[in-house]
């Protein structure tokens, strides 16, 4: 069975045994792309021992310094969380989300993010995702071991490969990459500063955050991201010409 183009991304894993166990879980479920962001200990003998036959997945694992590097070139991104989040994040059960992740991986690389063992993913890291994944668990103790979480997500992805995939978002192009979305957000922030459009709330710090989450939920494709950047550029040009006439 050919491996789908899905990256399993572990952010700041602290225990090498969990890295090895995650690699084993991936091979069990025909996933081969493992990316480690700032692992505390890797390579490590315990990772190799816990991989237990998945040495090829472990040997091919990429180690990077930032989440941006891990997600380079990706379109659809899902992130796991056990904590309650505010209403601006879209959250789905992992089984319901698996067919969508597979469908998106047919168009461009997709990624599933897992956070550090003790802290999980930060809000900033979650903001890179189009969708948050929840694994149903005991409400009194919902936190899962990292390798177990990888196993459950990998299982649902493998299981969903035998189910007709849900239709992808009705777009003609692949989703905008992480790099394209990052450039769009920077452009947006620049234009907001130029037109002096500021957050009027008491704290005055949430406007750009809200815009980022709105656009992540919109799941822009490559063309739509370019359209928005074209509009922003037109606003900048109009303001410059107006300033010249004065």
User: In sequence order, which residues have a C-beta less than 8 Å from that of residue 231 and are 6 or more positions away?
Assistant: none
Is the pLDDT assigned to residue 171 strictly greater than 50? no
Is the pLDDT assigned to residue 170 strictly greater than 90? no
Is the pLDDT assigned to residue 167 strictly greater than 80? no
Residues 121 and 221 in one domain: no
Residue 166 lies in a domain: no
Residues 48 and 96 in one domain: yes
Is residue 133 within 8 A of residue 94, CB to CB? The reply is yes
**Sheet strand arrangement including 77-80:** 62-64, 33-37, 6-11, 110-114, 77-80, 131-134, 91-93
Residue 169 lies in a domain: no
Rounded to an integer, the average pLDDT of 81-94 is 78
Is the pLDDT assigned to residue 90 strictly greater than 50? yes
Is the pLDDT assigned to residue 172 strictly greater than 60? no
Of 104 and 166, which is predicted with more confidence? 104
Looking at residue 87, its pLDDT comes to 57
Q: State whether residue 150 is helix, strand or coil.
A: helix
Looking at residue 36, its pLDDT comes to 98
Residues 79 and 190 in one domain: no
181 pLDDT band, cuts 50/70/90, is very high
Residues 68 and 127 in one domain: yes
Rounded to an integer, the average pLDDT of 31-41 is 97
- Domain span at residue 227 reads 178-245
- Does the predicted model carry a pTM greater than 0.75? yes
Question: What ranges in the chain are assigned the alpha helix state H?
Answer: 16-28, 45-51, 55-60, 67-70, 94-105, 123-126, 146-160, 178-194, 207-218, 222-245
Domain finish residue from 160, 193, 217: 160
Rounded to an integer, the average pLDDT of 20-49 is 97
Please give the C-alpha separations between residue 177 and each of 12, 74, 81, 168, in angstroms, as whole numbers. 23, 5, 22, 16
Q: How many CB atoms lie within 10 A of CB 179?
A: 13
Lowest mean pLDDT among 8-17, 139-148, 192-201: 192-201
125 pLDDT band, cuts 50/70/90, is very high
Domain finish residue from 160, 186, 208: 160
242 pLDDT band, cuts 50/70/90, is confident
User: In sequence order, which residues have a C-beta less than 8 Å from that of residue 90 and are 6 or more positions away?
Assistant: 130, 131, 132, 217
Looking at residue 203, its pLDDT comes to 63
CA distance 139 to 72: 35
Looking at residue 65, its pLDDT comes to 98
Residues 127 and 184 in one domain: no
Q: Which candidate, 94, 86, 114, places its Cα nearest to that of 23?
A: 114
Is the pLDDT assigned to residue 151 strictly greater than 90? yes
Residues 12 and 90 in one domain: yes
Render pLDDT for 223-238 as a digit per residue (tens, 0 to 9).
999 999 999 999 999 9
Q: Which residues pair with 77 in a beta bridge?
A: 111
Residue 165 lies in a domain: no
Residues 30 and 120 in one domain: yes
CA distance 188 to 195: 11
Q: Which residues pair with 131 in a beta bridge?
A: 78
Is residue 157 within 8 A of residue 32, CB to CB? The reply is no
Domain finish residue from 160, 186, 211: 160
Give the domain CATH number at 188. Answer: 1.10.8.590
Q: What percent of the chain lies above the pLDDT cut of 90?
A: 76
Is the pLDDT assigned to residue 86 strictly greater than 70? no
Residue 170 lies in a domain: no
CA distance 172 to 167: 13
Residues 45 and 145 in one domain: yes
Residues 73 and 194 in one domain: no
Give the domain CATH number at 128. Answer: 3.40.1280.10
Q: How many domains does the chain have?
A: 2
């Amino acid at each position: 069975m050919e491996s789908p183009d899905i990256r399993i991304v572990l952010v700041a894993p602290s225990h090498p045994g969990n890295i090895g166990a995650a690699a084993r879980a991936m091979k069990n479920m025909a996933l081969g792309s493992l990316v480690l962001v700032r692992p505390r200990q890797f390579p490590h003998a315990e990772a190799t021992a816990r991989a237990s036959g998945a040495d090829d997945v472990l040997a091919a694992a990429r180690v990077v310094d930032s989440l941006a590097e891990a997600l380079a070139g990706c379109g659809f991104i899902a992130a796991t969380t056990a904590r309650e989040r505010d209403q601006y994040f879209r959250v789905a059960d992992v089984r319901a989300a698996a067919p969508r992740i597979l469908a998106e991986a047919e168009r461009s690389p997709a990624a599933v993010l897992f956070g550090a063992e003790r802290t999980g993913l930060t809000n900033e890291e979650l903001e890179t995702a189009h969708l948050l994944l929840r694994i149903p668990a005991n409400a009194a103790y919902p936190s899962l071991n990292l390798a177990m979480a990888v196993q459950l997500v990998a299982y649902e992805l493998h299981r969903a490969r035998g189910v007709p995939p849900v239709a992808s978002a009705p777009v003609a192009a692949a989703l905008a990459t992480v790099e394209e979305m990052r450039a769009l957000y920077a452009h947006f922030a620049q234009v907001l500063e130029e037109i002096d459009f500021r957050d009027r709330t008491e704290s005055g710090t949430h406007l750009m955050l809200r815009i980022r989450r709105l656009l992540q939920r919109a799941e822009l494709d490559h063309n739509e991201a370019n359209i928005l950047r074209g509009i922003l550029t037109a606003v900048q040009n109009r303001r410059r010409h107006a300033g010249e006439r004065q």
